Structure formats: C-alpha cells, structure tokens
Amino acid sequence: MGLSERNLKIAQARLAARTATALDVSRAQNALNSDRQDLASARASLPVLEASLARTLNLQGDLNLSAPPAAPKLSVTLAALQAGLEKRLPSLVQAANGAALAALQVRLSDNDYTPARTLEDARVAAQNAQRTLDDALRAAQTGVRDAYRAAQDAQERVALAREALQNARTALTQAQARLKAGTAAAVEVQQAQLQVSQAEFSLTQAQGGVWRALAGLGTASGVDVTGLVN
C-alpha cells in the first residue's frame, strides 16, 4: 500500500507540474483505494480463518499460528506406493474381500450335491467380483500415479519460487545501491520491495501446495508421506 500512496503523490505532483492529467491522479487514487480495501478484507477474514482452522483441528482457545515447516522431500518411489494398495485402501479391501468371498462360494458349490446352475451362478459372480477388484485396483494405481506426479510438480514449483525470490532480493539490493548513488528514485526501491514481498508470498503458496499435494498422495496411496502422522 505504501507504493500506491507514493504513486498517488507522484501523480499529484505531476498534475501540479502539468506533466500528468487528472485521469492519472484518479487512477492512482483508485489503485490506493483498492489496496486499502484488500488490506481491510484480509484483516477481517483472518479471525474467521483462524476459527475455521480451530474447528477443523478440534482445538480450543486462541491459535498461535506460525509459518509451516519445510515439507519433506518425496523419498518413496511410485512403485512402492502402488504396491499393496488392496491391503491399505478401504475400498480395495472391500472389493478384495468380495472377490475372496465369491471365490469361496465357487469352491463350496463345486460338489456332487449342489445344482449345476448354482455352481455356474457362483462362477459368474466370482468373475464379476474379480473384475470389479481389478478395475478398482487399476483406478487406484492411476490415482496414485497422478498424485505422485502432482507432488513432484509441487516440489519443483517451490524450487522455482525460491529462485524467483532470490532474484527479487538481488534486484532490491541493486535498486538500493542505485538510490544511494543517486541514479534511482525512492519509488524504484519501493517497487523492488513490493516484488520481494510478492515473491515471498508466492514461495509460501508453493510450500503450501507441497503440503496439499503430499496429503493428496497419502490419501490416494494409504501411506503417510507428510511425516505428520504418528
């Protein structure tokens, strides 16, 4: 918002010097008003978000929020996460139990005193149950693969965001040096400071994206890859 205030003062000064128009001042004023409204909205929404988080975590009292820790690196392989899904995911466990029960029914019906039609129906049911299990397993493996790629992509975005932040900080240092040497205006330093703040926010968002991607991968695979579950 400080940058918008300075831009407004610059526009007003240029208008007084007749090197800008009233429209330029109006635009700068609108930008400042928009920034003020965004700030007020963010401040007003913070208690609501904190209360929502407290309800989600079933916590009482005021929350002491801090920056999240760095997300762990994805060290487990895709093959390891795809293996044994039918023993971890409830939907697959249910389908596997259904297939096993149907196969048992075939064995129980395969005798000299059970009608042939009953045995045939049991075999058809067993084939259908096995097909259901196979289809569910393939879908689950695809889900794990997609979630794994999303986690990898999220971690790559963190690396890019860190690089962008470093570049922004370098640009700020250079702008401050130019200001000290008298070859840059104060507004250029403020613009560089704003870009650093935006890059820091982008990095925080990217880090949050990693946590969400890891949580999604854990849900898809039935294995905690966040390190948060004891």
pTM: 0.74
Residue in 202, 100, 206 with CA at minimum distance from that of residue 157: 206
Residue in 69, 71, 68, 67 with CA at minimum distance from that of residue 151: 71
Whether 194 has a pLDDT exceeding 70, the answer reads yes
- State residue 104 phi and psi, 5-degree precision: -65, -40
Residue in 9, 14, 59, 56 with CA at minimum distance from that of residue 31: 9
Whether 32 has a pLDDT exceeding 60, the answer reads yes
Q: What is the pLDDT of residue 229?
A: 65
Q: How far apart are CA 134 and CA 46, in angstroms?
A: 47
**Half-sphere exposure of residue 110: CA atoms within 13 angstroms, side-chain side:** 9
Contact, 146 vs 221, CB < 8 A?
Answer: no
Tokens for 90?
A: 């409830």
Q: How far apart are CA 215 and CA 205, in angstroms?
A: 15
Q: How far apart are CA 184 and CA 203, in angstroms?
A: 28
Taking the alpha carbons at both ends of the chain, their separation in whole angstroms is: 43
Quote the percentage of the chain above a pLDDT of 70: 93
Minimum mean pLDDT range among 47-51, 106-110, 111-115, 201-205: 47-51
Rounded to an integer, the average pLDDT of 152-164 is: 95
Q: How confident is the model at residue 171 (pLDDT cuts 50, 70, 90)?
A: very high
Q: What is the pLDDT of residue 114?
A: 87
Residue in 17, 8, 10, 58 with CA at minimum distance from that of residue 36: 8
Rounded to an integer, the average pLDDT of 46-54 is: 79
Q: What is the pLDDT of residue 124?
A: 96
In Å, how far are 71, 90, 219, 223 from 87, measured between CA atoms? 27, 8, 14, 11
Whether 224 has a pLDDT exceeding 80, the answer reads yes
Rounded to an integer, the average pLDDT of 55-82 is: 78
Whether 107 has a pLDDT exceeding 90, the answer reads yes
Rounded-to-10 torsion of CA 214, 220, 222, 228: 20
Residue in 102, 165, 137, 131 with CA at minimum distance from that of residue 222: 137
Greatest C-alpha distance within the chain: 107
In Å, how far are 100, 102, 104, 110 from 114, measured between CA atoms? 20, 16, 14, 7
| pLDDT greater at residue 90 or residue 230 | 90
